[in-house]
Amino acid sequence: MLNARSIEAGGSGIAARSYDSSLGCWATKVQPGEFYITVAHPEEAITTVLGSCVAACIRDPEAAIGGMNHFMLPEETPHGRGDWRDAVGLATRYGSYAMESLINGLLKLGARRERLEVKLFGGGQVLDVDMPVGQRNVEFARRWLLTEGLRVVAQDVGGKSPRRIIYFPATGMVKVKQLRPVESREVLSSERRYLGDVAARPLVGEIELFRD
């Protein structure tokens, strides 16, 4: 098991892991800007709550290794072109870093790239902003995965409601719950803070995708 780590270069944090009596197992909550990887155990779940953010749940079913990330693309600077292929764009670099951090961690623990299965969630249009934040996050993730030749076996994206995601990496099963309005307000507040934090704290390093 790895502790949840911040996607921002050099950052790290301790996983919010506790026993969830409603699930009957240990559960680790992944916060915005984090990823978490585990050598999958039948009695372990990874959870998160998504509004406009996107989470990729990725596992190697044979090696029983799985993980989840949770990220949102920052807004482009006035000098950014907004093209997902623009390697100098902050959004592209950040999104790539978020995906590569998770996949590299899986491969280093023994997962095989050709066996990876991906499930994609989130990207709702829930923030009260002009830019289609959720759609932009989903489009980036899909394009990135397509370029890297990774297969998406399931997805639940878009819409206008936040979601709670419960991922069981040992089996690949995912439970998705649409949140009520009272729960949605807390999600929106958290994502607004996160979007502001990401814009104010750009990446300070790069990583290269590990090839097994």
Report phi then psi at 2, rounded to 5.
-110, 145
Distance CA 11, CA 115 (A): 29
Among candidate residues 27, 53, 72, 187, the one labeled active-site is: 53
Distance CA 30, CA 33 (A): 8
Q: Are 9 and 36 in contact (CB under 8 A)?
A: no
Q: Which residues lie across from 174 on neighbouring strands?
A: 167
Catalytic site includes residue 53: yes
Structure tokens given for 94: 């950040």
CB-based contacts of 155, cutoff 8 Å, min separation 6: 119, 120, 121
Please identify every residue annotated as catalytic: 53
